[in-house]
Structure 1
Amino acid sequence: MSAALSKVTPRPARFGRAPAIRGHLRKDRRTGLPRPPVPIVTREFAPCRFQDHYYNTLQDDLMYMTYHHEHLPRSSTRQIRRKFDPEDPYTKNRHNPPVGGSQIGKKPAPPTTASNVVRLEKVVIHSMVKEALQNKSNLLGPLMALRALTGENNKAGGQHAVEGVQIVRGKKAVGGWIRPGVPVGVKVELKGQSMYDFIGSLVEFVLPRLREFNGVVLPPQSSSVNSPSAVSGVVTFGLPPQAMGFFPQIEVNQDAYPKMYGMHIHFVTNASGFLSFVDSIVISSCIFISESYRI
Structure 2
Amino acid sequence: MSVAAAAAASVAPAVRAFRKPPRIRKSLKYDQHGLPIPHVDIAIRDIAPCRLREHYYTTLQDDLMYMTYVHESGHRPPPRQIRLRFDPNDPYSRNRRNSPTVVQLDSIVLHTMQKDAINNRSSLVGAIAAFRALSGETENGGGRSSRGGVEIVKGKKAVSGWVRPGLPLGCKVTLKGPKMYDFIATLTEFVFPRMREFNGIVLLPASSTMRTPSGVAGVVSFGLPPEAMGLFPQIEVNLDAYPKPIGFHVHFITNAEGAGAQNRARALLSGFQIPFARK
Give the TM-score, by structure 2 length.
Answer: 0.79
Aligned residues: 241
1:278 maps onto 2:259 in alignment: no
Deviation string for 1:73-96 (max 9, x for gaps)? 98574689xxxxxxxxxxxxxxxx
Distance 1:34 1:288, change over 3 A: same
Check the 8 A contact 2:215/2:260 in 1, yes or no.
no
Q: CA deviation at 1:31?
A: 3.4
Q: Following TM superposition, where does structure 1 have runs of at least 4 consecutive aligned residues deviating by more than 6 angstroms? A: 69-74
Name the counterpart of 1:241.
Answer: 226
Check the 8 A contact 1:168/1:186 in 2, yes or no.
yes
Check the 8 A contact 1:145/1:257 in 2, yes or no.
yes
Structure 2 gaps, min length 5: 1-20, 84-97
Q: CA deviation at 1:22?
A: 3.4
Deviation string for 1:40-72 (max 9, x for gaps)? 000111221111111111101112233457998
Once residues 150 and 175 of structure 2 are traced to their aligned partners in structure 1, the CA distance between those partners, rounded to angstroms, is 10
Deviation string for 1:258-290 (max 9, x for gaps)? 111001001111111124111111111111111
Name the counterpart of 1:102.
Answer: none
Identity %, equivalent residues: 53
Distance 1:273 1:114, change over 3 A: closer
Distance 1:79 1:233, change over 3 A: closer
**Larger Rg over CA atoms:** 2
Which deviates further from its counterpart, 139-148 or 275-284? 275-284
For residue 154 of structure 1, what is the amino acid of its counterpart? E
Name the counterpart of 1:171.
Answer: 156
Give the TM-score, by structure 1 length.
Answer: 0.75
Distance 1:226 1:76, change over 3 A: closer
Distance 1:136 1:59, change over 3 A: same
SS at match of 1:274: coil
Distance 1:270 1:79, change over 3 A: closer
Check the 8 A contact 2:210/2:260 in 1, yes or no.
no
Once residues 179 and 222 of structure 1 are traced to their aligned partners in structure 2, the CA distance between those partners, rounded to angstroms, is 40
Name the counterpart of 1:109.
Answer: none
The CA RMSD measured in Å over matched residues stands at 2.5
Once residues 273 and 250 of structure 1 are traced to their aligned partners in structure 2, the CA distance between those partners, rounded to angstroms, is 38
1:196-207, aligned counterparts within 5 Å? Answer: 196-207=181-192
Name the counterpart of 1:15.
Answer: none
Once residues 118 and 146 of structure 1 are traced to their aligned partners in structure 2, the CA distance between those partners, rounded to angstroms, is 27
